Structure 1
Amino acid sequence: MDTSDNTPDQAPATAPDDTNVACIARQPIVDEKRDVYGYELFDRSTAAHAHTAASDAALLFNALSYAGAEALVGKKTVFINCTHESLSGAHLELIHPDRVVLEVPPLAADASQQDIDACLPVFEALRQRGFRLAFDQNLLRSSYASWMSMASFVKLDMQAFALEHAEKLVKLAQSHTRAQVVAEKVETAEQFERMHALGVRLFQGFWFAQPQQVQARTIRPTQATIIQLINLVRQQASTEEIEELLKKDPTLSFNLLRFINSSGFGLSCEITSFRHAVMILGLKKLFRWAALLLTTSRVGGMPPAVGQTAVVRGRLMELLSAELLPPEESDHAFVVGVFSLLDVMLNQPMAKALESVALPQSIVDALVHNQGVFAPFLELTRACESGDELAFARAANALQLSNHQVNWAHLQALSWADSLATEDL
């Protein structure tokens, strides 16, 4: 499989060891007209590029949670290199299988026939769940005959055999499997034309495109908060208790909403509330997600003051809006407040920061355009922080709220945020 460490055309803007950047390379798989059929993804977040079960899980997780699946692969099929260990990994339960092809390597050269046949139950279970499997040309060896019926794709490495052997390999694949043949590592026009003449319709390699690196600025919760979430799930805590934890950490809630609304999760509707996200995901998948998030998190997280301010804003907007808006709108007001510092967290414009998370238009209008039903509440919330008495009076009057009402709500929000912070100690 095409796992060589090819250098992308453009150098990354940020060093690979930056813990706030997820680096993923993609290489297109194209048809004979050079239209993109799908993308093979490569992890570029670490200097070593070690290919392990853990890196497989991290690659899928980062693709869905950080880089934004829509921006990374659109509606195309995703090809992911796997180890045999990762094929049994629980992380695969988190993704929708329809658009994912798992690339399966051969076993070690000294593997016995018993070892080869022992893989079949894993393959069959994956296929029953809807995953498609891809194999390299080793599948066409007699010792791997039992695997042939499992193949949806056979990838022929054009650098692994002489061109005069191409016809034999293509005919073997066509006669012994129902798989689509992919010519990979195609580097010359001669290779393309020969394989196309043999009936191959999918291609990958430098002759078409080198891997292109995609980066995303990330915000990752502290490990302590993620461990809290894992403990709540293991204790089978109520949806309300889990929602409370999500409310206290903007990075945690942001990552959850972005993940559950990614195309890889396969939902047909957008999830915009924390409670709905927890209910849709369920405790088992929430545990898997949190465990994967823990492996990609760091000890420090973002600066505590930023998260604390965001939490205060969320709670204050929730309390203020409860005076004037229906309950469901108060939930949205909380999201506006808690996400109002995403531009600071991600160090990018707010509109860009919101691209990878699905939110109601009313929330986007407030955060990006300072318009709509929540904009006056956000303005008042910011005025409470600024110490500008004129701005405070103007914003409070616009909502017909008294100084007493606003000050009481602000004190309640500060107290609530402090109590949450104390729970972490």
Structure 2
Amino acid sequence: MYPTENAFANPGAASVSIARQAIVDKNQAVVGYELFNRSVQKGEHTASSDAQMLFNLLSMAESETLVGKALLFVNCTLDSLAAGHVDLIAPEHYVLQIPAVPLSQIDQIQLRLPTLRALHARGFRLAFDYSVLTQPYEEWLPLAAYIKFDTVVLKSATITSFIRLAQAKTQAHLVAEKVSTQTQYLQLKELGVGLFQGDWFARATLVEGQSMRPGQATILQLINLVRKQASTAEIEEVLKRDPTLSFNLLRFINSAGFGLRTEVSSFKHAVMLLGLQRLFKWAALLLTTSTLSGAAPAIGTTAVVRGRLMELLAAEALPADDCDHAFVVGIFSLLDSMLGMPLETALANLTLPDSVTQALLHRSGPLAHYLTLTLACESGDDEAFAQSAQALQLTEKQINWAHLQALAWAETLGET
């Protein structure tokens, strides 16, 4: 018998801290947010932290609260642009903020140009600082959708000169950063700056939450299957065996950042829609942001058993799609314990069929009795077991056999 969810801590969840600061127009209406990764130390902005930031943005349970429908300005390193992480996000939602190269590496300007042109061709809007207006960056300038001016670094007269130069050479939107007074705002507005960012409008605010990390061994297994171009069925099998992996995939593919316009409610659908190339990149990103871990924690094993048992029980009477949904109900029934938040909050950030959410949140709908029966198998609640079995017209022999199969299937987790 497996322990109940109250017996578990929160082993698979990692703390996530992302700050956002509003970017406003002349009328002080919000047009976007610049995002900052507060999960790493200041000054440690690297390709690795970029990967972590992107993963957190796409998978943390509070991401919709964080970004809403606004345009997102994301800081990048030149190395992270070449790493392919941005292939996972929808260009229409993001502005990539590109840093200037160090003075000692001026040759990098030409070397990075093909990558920037490729991103621009894909539809990404690129933002640069005032350096893009200088002669060495002449070939970068046509790619600029936004040019940002730091009011702390640049003196008033210098900003004025750069603004005039930008207005003469480009159609890019001009953004004044770190605006701290109304006087600054009015002066810059008079010069023709159209977008503003700084404490005078809004201080950066923190959004903290939880994201889950599956074990690295499972992620490596998924990556190996993708590299071998395994069948969808084989890949789906791995996803079914790790609730944190499957949650991350559904959360990502249904996120605003992915830019999908249709509901994805099964692992098979997610794999087919994502495709092997993007699935590989997603798994690689997940691997770079995961922490070392050993065997699957008890909570994950329990979730897997629930999912498999519900799937087997549903197969006695329901069509294949409903059996898939039954598996999702079982495997996500412990998300509250995994994420350290109410189940309703976790599910609000997933696009799931009504039958799944009704069963999980209200114990109603066609899958509710299957969940109740599964929980009764764990807890030894004879009364609930009998009532659910009768409602589903299942015999004790059928249920016990399915339970043994589910337990045996979960045991193979350590063998793969």
- Is this a same-fold pair by TM over 0.5? yes
Q: CA deviation at 1:19?
A: 6.6
The superposition leaves residues 108-159 of structure 1 with CA deviations (integer Å, 9 ceiling, x where unpaired) of: 12344x5433332222111001111111111222232222111100001111
Residue of structure 2 in register with 1:423 after alignment: 415
Q: 1:29 aligns with which of 17, 20, 23?
A: 23
Correspondence list, 1:27-66, <5 A? 27-66=21-60
Give identity over the alignment, percent. 55
User: 5+ residue gaps in structure 2?
Assistant: 1-11
Residue of structure 1 in register with 2:4 after alignment: none
Q: 1:382 aligns with which of 364, 375, 381?
A: 375
Residue of structure 1 in register with 2:316 after alignment: 323
Q: 1:284 to 1:71 in 2, by over 3 A?
A: same
Q: 1:270 to 1:381 in 2, by over 3 A?
A: same
Contact 2:56 2:211 in 1 (8 A): no
Amino acid at match of 2:398: Q
RMSD: 1.7
Q: TM-score, normalised by structure 2?
A: 0.94
Contact 2:61 2:346 in 1 (8 A): no
User: What number of residue pairs does the alignment pair up?
Assistant: 405
Q: Secondary structure at the match of 2:78?
A: coil
Residue of structure 2 in register with 1:105 after alignment: 99
The superposition leaves residues 336-359 of structure 1 with CA deviations (integer Å, 9 ceiling, x where unpaired) of: 011111111112211011122221
Q: CA deviation at 1:67?
A: 4.7
Correspondence list, 1:258-277, <5 A? 258-277=251-270
Correspondence list, 1:241-390, <5 A? 241-300=234-293, 304-390=297-383
2 CA distance for matches of 1:25 and 1:162?
27
Q: 1:348 to 1:49 in 2, by over 3 A?
A: farther
Q: TM-score, normalised by structure 1?
A: 0.92
User: 5+ residue gaps in structure 1?
Assistant: 1-17
Q: CA deviation at 1:302?
A: 8.9
Contact 2:126 2:145 in 1 (8 A): yes
Contact 1:103 1:135 in 2 (8 A): yes
Amino acid at match of 2:358: D
2 CA distance for matches of 1:39 and 1:70?
13
2 CA distance for matches of 1:347 and 1:116?
45
The superposition leaves residues 28-74 of structure 1 with CA deviations (integer Å, 9 ceiling, x where unpaired) of: 11112221111111111123551111111221121011255422111
2 CA distance for matches of 1:249 and 1:49?
35
Residue of structure 1 in register with 2:163 after alignment: 170
1 CA distance for matches of 2:305 and 2:126?
48
1 CA distance for matches of 2:39 and 2:383?
48
Contact 1:383 1:392 in 2 (8 A): yes
Q: Secondary structure at the match of 2:263?
A: coil
Residue of structure 2 in register with 1:150 after alignment: 143
Correspondence list, 1:97-136, <5 A? 97-112=91-106, 114-136=107-129
After the TM superposition, which segments of 4 or more aligned residues of structure 1 sit over 4 Å from their partners? none
Contact 1:22 1:67 in 2 (8 A): no
Q: Which moved more, 1:329-338 or 1:164-173?
A: 164-173
Determine whether 1:237 maps to 2:202.
no
Determine whether 1:87 maps to 2:81.
yes
Q: Secondary structure at the match of 1:107?
A: coil
